[in-house]
Amino acid sequence: MDLVRPLGLAHIRCVVAARPGAPPRYSRFTDGRLDWTDPWRHPDVLAGTLIAFGAAQAESPVLFYEEDGDLLFISRWRAALARAFRFVVPDATLVEDLVDKERFQQLAARANLPVPQARRVDPVAERPGELGLRFPLVLKPLTRRPASWDPVAGGAKALRVDTPPDLAALWPRLAAAGLPLLAQELVAGSERRIESYHAYVRPGGEVVGEFTGRKIRTWPLERGESTALELTDAPDVAALGRDVLARLQFAGVAKLDFKRDLAGRLWLLEINPRFTLWHHLGAVAGVNLPALVYADLTGSGADGARHTPTRARPGAHWCRPWVDWRAARATGLPLWRWAPWALACDAKSVVAWDDPLPLLGATVWRQLRSAARASAASHS
């Protein structure tokens, strides 16, 4: 919904390929629904579904994507998909370099990007000896987060390790998970020190639209998924973001995550070359990056795209209410203070008074699925 809604706000109608019960399937901005197949497991099936749909349209539709799996699928199938769709996606090698954390470290070294020191570790084949890194460390999977990672990290995207003895004690669990990992030196400070730069860049380096933001809360509280966000006006973040993208000769849509250390220096943590949930907040604050992409690809001048201001409104907020209340409570923020703040947020994931069916439809679908599973279990 954080991609469908900014498109809808620019009067761009959507057909979605989403999991059964996913909120976008019920949105008033959605005109059609396609069968969804996991792009990690069956990319050929998903490609067939999409190409058949695109080829049947009078004009080639614009293809948008949000998750890493979708990004890699479109990049790797770009030649076939380009026969039926219009889309923006960075250079194929650059996509692979940015998504794989080990390859990203190598790219950062070549381009002299300001990243923390890191190295690949394989708990199955290695022992927790000298890594050549300063503790504390952050451990994270090299690519997408597989199911075997969650029991180790408790739902967090990454795991903090403070000392060598802590790493040695954790090593058997890491080896049992069977995952090669990236070990990276921790940049001190809370998740609130993570700031981001968001941009759409045309081939040749022209920045069409941009904004900056920072995290307010995540769940879990450390290295978790974003639950509350705020737009900022941070000239140093924007300047460094532009510089990084220029060094990489980047063209497309990108989110660059930085962390500001206690001395104020910005460290680059990752680059996501795809559409993200941030684009919902950017759109309601005045910079609608998905609409800008649509206008470029179609030449249609989508409503609000051609006259988008170059600066988004700082102080605009986004939240994922059903998770953020847990994060707020864990930080000591009482419900009576959190609730008015959440209601006043400029953008809320899935929740919208003018588009209530995504929340209602997804909720009913989950309840029906749970009831069906319970019935099947009782009869087994």
Q: Do 199 and 180 fall within a single domain?
A: no
What is the structure's pLDDT at 150? 76
Element (H, E) at 342: helix 335-343
Mean pLDDT of 240-258: 98
Domain annotation covers residue 175: yes
Q: Is the pLDDT of residue 10 over 50?
A: yes
Q: Is the pLDDT of residue 299 over 70?
A: yes
- For position 263, which CATH number holds? 3.30.470.20
Q: Is the pLDDT of residue 144 over 80?
A: no
How much of the chain, in percent, has pLDDT values that exceed 70? Answer: 97
Q: Do 230 and 343 fall within a single domain?
A: yes
Q: Do 217 and 344 fall within a single domain?
A: yes
Domain annotation covers residue 272: yes
- For position 177, which CATH number holds? 3.30.1490
3-state helix, strand, coil in the chain (%, to 5): 40, 20, 40
DSSP-assigned letters across all residues of 49-69: HHHHHHHTSSSPPBP---SHH
Q: Do 254 and 281 fall within a single domain?
A: yes
Q: Where are the beta strands (DSSP E) in 109-237?
A: 118-121, 137-141, 159-161, 181-185, 194-201, 207-219, 225-232
Q: Do 51 and 30 fall within a single domain?
A: yes
Q: Which two tokens stand for residue 226?
A: 């974003």
Q: Do 165 and 222 fall within a single domain?
A: no
Q: Is the pLDDT of residue 306 over 60?
A: no
Q: Is the pLDDT of residue 302 over 70?
A: no
Q: Is the pLDDT of residue 308 over 70?
A: no
Read off the amino acid at residue 280.
H
Residue-wise pLDDT for 36-80, tens only, equals: 888 888 999 999 999 999 999 999 999 999 999 999 999 999 999
What is the structure's pLDDT at 130? 76
Domain count, the chain: 3
Domain annotation covers residue 376: no
Domain annotation covers residue 110: no
* Domain-ending residue, one of 62, 94, 126: 94
What is the structure's pLDDT at 148? 76
Burial class (CB in 10 A: 0-12, 13-18, 19+), 233: middle
Domain annotation covers residue 103: no
Q: Do 145 and 196 fall within a single domain?
A: no
Domain span at 230: 191-348
Domain annotation covers residue 273: yes
| Interatomic CA distance for residues 250 and 196, integer angstroms | 17
Domain annotation covers residue 132: yes
Q: Do 195 and 342 fall within a single domain?
A: yes
* Domain-ending residue, one of 126, 151, 185: 185
How much of the chain, in percent, has pLDDT values that exceed 90? Answer: 72
Q: Is 194 helix (H, G, I), strand (E, B) or coil?
A: strand
Question: Which of the two residues, 115 and 35, has the higher pLDDT score?
Answer: 115
Q: Do 210 and 163 fall within a single domain?
A: no
| Interatomic CA distance for residues 337 and 215, integer angstroms | 19
| Interatomic CA distance for residues 320 and 358, integer angstroms | 14
Mean pLDDT of 290-303: 85
- CA-based radius of gyration for the chain: 21
Q: Is the pLDDT of residue 218 over 50?
A: yes
Q: Do 174 and 307 fall within a single domain?
A: no
* Domain-ending residue, one of 79, 94, 109: 94
Q: Do 53 and 176 fall within a single domain?
A: no
Domain annotation covers residue 173: yes
Answer yes or no: pTM beyond 0.85: yes
Residue-wise pLDDT for 163-207, tens only, equals: 999 999 988 888 888 888 899 999 998 889 999 999 999 999 999
Q: Do 129 and 246 fall within a single domain?
A: no
